[in-house]
Amino acid sequence: MLCWAAGLGDCGGGQSREHLISAGVFGGDRIFVHGFPWCKGEPKEIGLPGLTAKVLCRRHNERLSLVDKCAQRSAIAVNAAADLMETRQRMGRRRWVNVKRFEIDGAMMERWCTKTMVNLLLGENKFCEPSLPIGSDSEVPGRPSERLVRAACGIEPLNHGAGLYLLVPDEVNLYSGRRVSFTPLRSENPKFVAGLFRFIDLIFMLWLDPGGPPDDLSGPVFQGEQLGHMTLLPRFPDPQLKVKIGEHLSHVLAVKW
């Protein structure tokens, strides 16, 4: 039986199938995927059951279901913020008396990104080749360190600069949809040390190692976008994406810690 959380010593219930990316994030039962060895050239449409793998025991899969539900709620919040932006853009520029606020649970979202990154980078899935240790403190190719397992399972959060960061562009534009993209970053060692997520229309960086990401982000390119012009917002104080219609603040999308 394969379970990437086996190091916790409390596996149970036998093998289960885990969605590599939470099913609740998507709006239907079929999705387009791109980037795996069998779909590197162009996106392919598959049913959601096709995006599963035997990577967790049943007990740990069920324990992580709360994280999946958080991702689903976060997708709803981001789409609501995007829909409001589209509606108010049609209404024309004005001063908005009702500045709405949408919130995402930062701690749970950090756990979801950690879990999803581990799911995708496990050696058996071959999402990225070659298979590399996940985190600088992991010594096994295709496996996460115990510290990352404990963070994903909510036992001990990432700290000392490791954790989830929000990347904010100079000009904020939100578009509703049901899309998730992921790109790993590797060190010179080489090991996987970070991951970039596009969650609907938010860009998160999950930095795995203490010390935090570099100040200069001009190097990494994510889906054709240079990151150097974006502002990297840490966890505290609560990072906010401020949405303006013209020069006036319309609403706020906050990552609440």
Band the pLDDT of 37: cuts 50, 70, 90: low
Cβ–Cβ < 8 Å for 137, 147: yes
Number of domains in the chain: 1
Mean pLDDT of the chain: 88
The pLDDT value given to residue 172:
82
Each residue's pLDDT tens digit, 190-201: 999 999 998 998
Q: Is the pLDDT of residue 32 over 80?
A: no
Which of 253, 252, 205, 206 shows the shortest CA–CA distance to 230? 205
Each residue's pLDDT tens digit, 128-187: 666 899 999 999 999 999 999 999 999 999 999 999 999 988 778 888 787 888 888 888
Does residue 152 fall inside a structural domain?
A: yes
Band the pLDDT of 47: cuts 50, 70, 90: confident
pTM for the whole thing?
A: 0.92
Does residue 120 fall inside a structural domain?
A: yes
Beta bridge partners of 56: 16
Does residue 1 fall inside a structural domain?
A: no
The pLDDT value given to residue 243:
92
Each residue's pLDDT tens digit, 62-114: 999 999 999 999 999 999 999 999 999 999 888 999 999 999 999 999 999 99
18 φ, ψ to 5°?
Answer: -115, 130
Q: Which residue has the higher pLDDT, 68 or 42?
A: 68
Domain residues for 134?
6-256
Each residue's pLDDT tens digit, 208-229: 999 988 877 776 656 566 677 7
Does residue 134 fall inside a structural domain?
A: yes
Does residue 139 fall inside a structural domain?
A: yes
Does residue 38 fall inside a structural domain?
A: yes
The pLDDT value given to residue 128:
65
HSE at residue 156, side-chain half, CA atoms within 13 A, is 10
What is the phi-psi region of residue 126: left when phi exceeds 0, alpha when psi lies from -120 to 50, beta otherwise? left
Does residue 165 fall inside a structural domain?
A: yes
The pLDDT value given to residue 178:
77
